[in-house]
Chains A and B, each alone.
Chain A
Amino acid sequence: MLAKKTPLLQSFRSLVFRHASHLSRQQYDVIVVGGGHAGTEAAAAAARVGAETLLVTQKKNTIGALSCNPSLGGIGKGQLVKEVDALDGLCGRAGDWAGIHFSILNRSKGPAVWGPRAQLDRQRYREFIQSELLSTPRLTVLEGSVEELLVTEPNPEEPGQHRVKGICLANGNHPISASSVVLTTGTFLSGSLFVGQTTSPGGRIGDAPSSPGLSQTLRERLGLRTGRLRTGTPPRIVKDSVDLSEAQLHPPDSHPTPFSFLNTHTHCKPEEQLPCYLTFTTPGVERVVRESLHLNCHIQQDAKGPRYCPSIESRVLRFPGRRHQVWLEPEGMASDLLYPQGLSMTMPPDVQLRLIREIPAMHRAEIHTPGYGVQYDFVCPTQLSPALQVKSTQGLFLAGQINGTTGYEEAAAQGLWAGVNAARWALSMPLVALSRTESYIGVLIDDLVSRGITEPYRMFTSRAEYRTSLRPDNADLRLTLKGFEEVGCVSSLRYQKAVRVRDKLQEALAALEAIALSSAKWRKKLPGIHMTVYKSHCDLQKKEIERVQKEENMCLSPDLDYFSLPISLSEEVREILDRVRPSTLGAASRLQGITPAAVINLLHYVKYTGQKERGIHRNQPNQKEQGEEQRCQHDCEH
């Protein structure tokens, strides 16, 4: 539920959540701005890597709030949750704690595309996240509104290159300095709210709008290109006023499957789970939408909305004369509200009531909180490196909706990776990138930074070329080991568990390979084990993956002047490269309009400069003094 909290008094604004000794502290390694899915994962990850971290949020009470739907996971998204968990993130365990209805979507298809999903108890989810952050060493939470992002003047030797210095709070006595800042402002960056014909500044109903200073700095001082997107949320319905006998009952899986590799069972007992209900729109719904279009500001805006989570207005206008699904989802164990998924709407509240009452199950329903729309700024993500660092500003990292994505899982995944790199930057460790050949997180980030977005980006399994290898079941084998050995964001406890799993699987596989039986006998002996045809497919993919990885390992410096490169490239190709600034040869070859000839020429260039850079590298052991490209080069050599 979108709680309406009494605004905290100004004097409590800089209330410190914990660690009283840090009250006076004015310097951190990493500052994370925002306490949503991206911000909490970023802060926790940065602290796990070893950075002294500060999380700044407007209201400590809304940390870990589910602003929209009370659910986590799904097809493609479930994979992201498993990967965040494999890297020791929060959302998987929080989901297991707060889940009240677990089901695996897509069970009828291959296990690589199964989508673990859960309905969540909003209260429990928030509590879990908040208590996790409380018990994370090196992490401080501060309540406050960020007024200003502090950056250095551009370095005269590297034009356009800034460096982050810290932030200034609204009540700003002193600036707080940090080597890295992670911005996870969600819908708050120049956010405006829409209900009916009224518009007000803000990113979420009940919360104060964020300061215009931040988006000004991003646009004007740092020269970042931004765009505008929109989204919306449905009205919340009073459960008792709904006639559930008119809706189809959808029970959860009888055995809930936890998200986290650490959990063997969920907090909620199987028999305690709550059901969901399915209903459908009627022609009356379409009529109300059409009649109220002139009262609906949001729908008339140009900004692009989420294609795969459309408002009821877009649904009936795009597909008139059809019956559309509406899911009624529980908001929590003790909650007396229902969340009508599929009914996101922005018309005036009285029209919203008329609309929902056109659906038989809700013919007497009452609205607790009306739905509304949000428009917000995003930063074109092609201006980021694969480490989610702004290319023109050292130490500035962005994650979540600010990068043009939609969805909790997408936000959490970026948050974790931005947090990891923010900490590594602050601690003078080389930045790290995940490849699209090893994870959905890699696919997500590569799609964002090398292709950019034109509409809110959501994950699908079809975005991952190697999805039969990137399965929800092997996220730990793919990422936990690397997360501990190379990235430093995984606890040794989780690491040891993953190592045991890997060793036992290898043993079992070796033992089985030594046995020859007919398929009928195999089936009899190992009932319930998935007999898949992935093996040969995965082996094939492996070759392809190796080829791609070779190209991923060839870095292109972010400050290349493509227009003056002394190699044979057409003007068109130069313009594309200059606009997108791909960070690796692999990313460049995936761009539209880049010819095979251009790739060969770039390859030549990379190899030539690669040799030169290595020379510099040996002479300058102090990494902090070097640009990111050399860090990247350094990475490649290992």
Chain B
Amino acid sequence: NKPTQNYIRPCYFLIPSRGTPLSRLLCNCDEVSAGLASADTIFALSSGHGRCGVAVVRVSGPASVTSLRSMAGLTGSLPPPRKALLRSITDPLTREVLDRGLVLWFPAPHSFTGEDSVEFHIHGGPAVITAVLEALGSVPGMRPAEAGEFTRRAFQAGKLGLTEVEGLGDLIHAETEAQRRLALRQMSGELGHLYQDWSNKLKRCLAYVEAFIDFSEDELIEDGVLNQVDRVVCNLQTEMEQHLKDKRKGERLRSGVQVVIAGATNAGKSSLLNSICQRPAAIVSPIAGTTRDVVETALDIGGFPVLLIDTAGLRDSLDVVEREGVRRARERVEQADLTLVVVDCSNLPIDTQQAAAFLQEHLKSVMSTQKQNNCLLVLNKTDLLPEEQRQNLDMELRQVSGLPPACLISCHSNEGLQDFLTALHGNPLVSTVIYCNRISSIKIMKCDTIFAIY
């Protein structure tokens, strides 16, 4: 039976509960829905992505003032406009102190974007930056800015001179391009598959809902499509919550990129670790099997946090302790973001073509083929090779396909070490993974908030 009432002009207000005045209620529900991604307050790290003394995190939009109050502990009056104020910066949920830094309050229209804006000047350590960005992401109504969004807002508010905009397009282009490359790279990984799967499920749900809305009751839209959507969304929500709680991934986001040094015994792994950190972090000796456990060193490569991990040399051993060390080494290789496979090049066959085949074999013994994409070959002890052989080897490795990039170095003479560091630094895995990981975890959190409204 179809409803028989006449077409009444619907009244667009909410029926309030528990005797609250209507206008008040409307405010409340605005705050609730402000959790949606489209409620337009944006934030971003505005001072480059490297390690630096001071980092500036910028917030723009109507919820800026909320972020200022909840993160700088300003319950009373706001600070005077455009005056720096030294405050403890806290996580709005846990009240944990994240850093001590300057906050600046720029009420509209006197700000870069013409909107209410806040700047947090914090210490430049990656851990602090991550923590502050994540804390901002948890403030209702806030989302990470898209590339160029601050500038676009500034421009629209008539805040930017023409000369200031020139060249900006190129900058944004570079940023988007880096993100695109990273996204592509991520998409091939395990996390990528997970995100892709979520994205497909969500799109399917949307398609179902749209079809349900756009085709009438009589048009054979199968019964139960909405129940199906409910189920999928519910499962997704659980999955995302668990993903966010996952300690291992959380740890990795915070501690940076894991770079594992692996290889046969006595290839010079620990020497490489010491050369990179420029201090004797690991014991080195000519005796094979010196390193038995995993040695971790946190360092900063090109402004990015890297956990460099030295492992036991891979060989079959009867020693129980050493066998455990080798097991751990293999485990770390499988978890690594990047593996440096160290080879003693004085052990290579003299014929360079055979050498390439030898290296391919050797890689197989160290790691699975899949992992070889995230790997760098380090051919150590070049000082032991005759000059001519070294050059031939270098040439051959540049031409041969099916091998990861290779660097010839000598930890003994430091020859080639600088080139190796440049290669490591320039590896995009090291530089961009961190920032984008941070952003994607904030985005998953937002997704979770939206599901809560659904």
Contact = CB atoms under 8 A, between A and B. Distances in A.
Interface of A: 74-76, 103-109, 111, 113, 115-116, 250, 253-255, 257, 278, 325, 460-462, 471, 473-474, 505, 508-509, 512-519, 522-523, 526, 528-541, 543-544, 547, 550, 567-568, 595-601, 603-604, 607-608
A107 B32 CA distance: 28
19 contacts: A74-B216, A75-B215, A75-B216, A107-B2, A107-B3, A253-B4, A255-B6, A513-B21, A518-B18, A522-B16, A532-B11, A535-B13, A539-B26, A568-B167, A568-B173, A596-B176, A600-B165, A604-B162, A604-B166
A535 B216 contact: no
A597 B6 contact: no
Interface stretch (B33-41, B82-90, B132-140, B315-323): B33-41
B151 A607 contact: no
A265 B11 CA distance: 21
Nearest to A251: B2
Interface in B77-123: none
B36 A512 contact: no
B16 A519 contact: yes
Contacts of A509: 11, 13
Given A516-B19, A596-B146, A597-B176, A257 B162 contact: no
B452 interface: no
B214 interface: yes
Interface in B400-438: none
B352 to A, nearest CB: 42
Interface in B19-33: 19-23, 26, 29-30, 32-33
A111 B218 contact: no
B13 A116 contact: no
Contacts of B454: none
Nearest to A541: B38
A502 to B, nearest CB: 11
A531 B14 CA distance: 6
Q: Which 9 A-B pairs have the closest CB atoms?
A: A530-B10, A597-B173, A105-B216, A257-B7, A601-B169, A522-B15, A536-B29, A519-B15, A513-B22
Given A529-B11, A608-B162, A461 B213 contact: yes
Nearest to B173: A597
B196 to A, nearest CB: 20
Contact of B33 (A75, A115, A536, A567): A536
Contacts of A532: 10-12, 14
Given A474-B9, A531-B15, A600-B148, 7 more contacts: A74-B216, A255-B5, A325-B219, A461-B214, A514-B21, A526-B11, A538-B12
Contacts of A531: 11, 14-15
A476 B168 CA distance: 43
Nearest to B22: A513
B32 A536 contact: yes
B20 A103 contact: no
A597 B169 contact: yes
Contact of A517 (B19, B36, B168): B19
A107 B213 CA distance: 10
B220 to A, nearest CB: 6
A539 B30 contact: yes
Contacts of A607: 155, 162
Most buried by A among B15, B21, B176, B210: B15
Given A257-B6, A516-B21, A603-B155, A567 B169 contact: yes
Interface in B205-228: 210, 212-220
Given A513-B23, A604-B162, A535 B14 contact: yes
Given A106-B216, A509-B13, A534-B12, A600 B168 contact: yes
A626 B218 CA distance: 53
B8 A528 contact: yes
A518 B17 contact: yes
A603 B162 CA distance: 10
Contacts of B252: none
B170 interface: yes
B447 interface: no
B389 interface: no
Nearest to B39: A540
B35 to A, nearest CB: 10
Nearest to B21: A516
B167 to A, nearest CB: 8
Contacts of A461: 213-214
B147 interface: yes
Contact of B218 (A278, A508, A519, A568): A278
A522 B34 CA distance: 26
B200 interface: no
A278 B217 CA distance: 13
A75 B212 CA distance: 11
Contacts of A111: 10
A324 to B, nearest CB: 9
Contacts of B327: none
A23 B162 CA distance: 59
Contacts of B213: 75, 106, 109, 113, 461-462
A249 to B, nearest CB: 13
Contacts of B16: 516-519, 522
A537 B30 CA distance: 8
B172 interface: yes
A328 B330 CA distance: 71
Contacts of B33: 536-537, 539-540
A146 B71 CA distance: 72
Nearest to B217: A108
Interface in B178-224: 210, 212-220
A254 B168 CA distance: 62
Given A604-B169, A607-B162, A533 B14 contact: yes
B156 interface: yes
Contacts of A535: 12-14, 26, 29
B152 interface: yes
Contact of B217 (A106, A529, A547, A608): A106
A474 B7 CA distance: 12
Given A600-B148, A600-B165, A603-B152, A523 B2 contact: no
- Scoring A103, A104, A534, A597 by chain B CB atoms within 10 A of each residue's CB, the highest score goes to A597
Given A539-B30, A596-B172, A528 B5 contact: yes
A250 B218 CA distance: 10
Contact of A518 (B19, B23, B152, B219): B19
A536 B170 contact: no
A498 to B, nearest CB: 12
Contacts of A528: 5, 8
Contacts of A541: 38
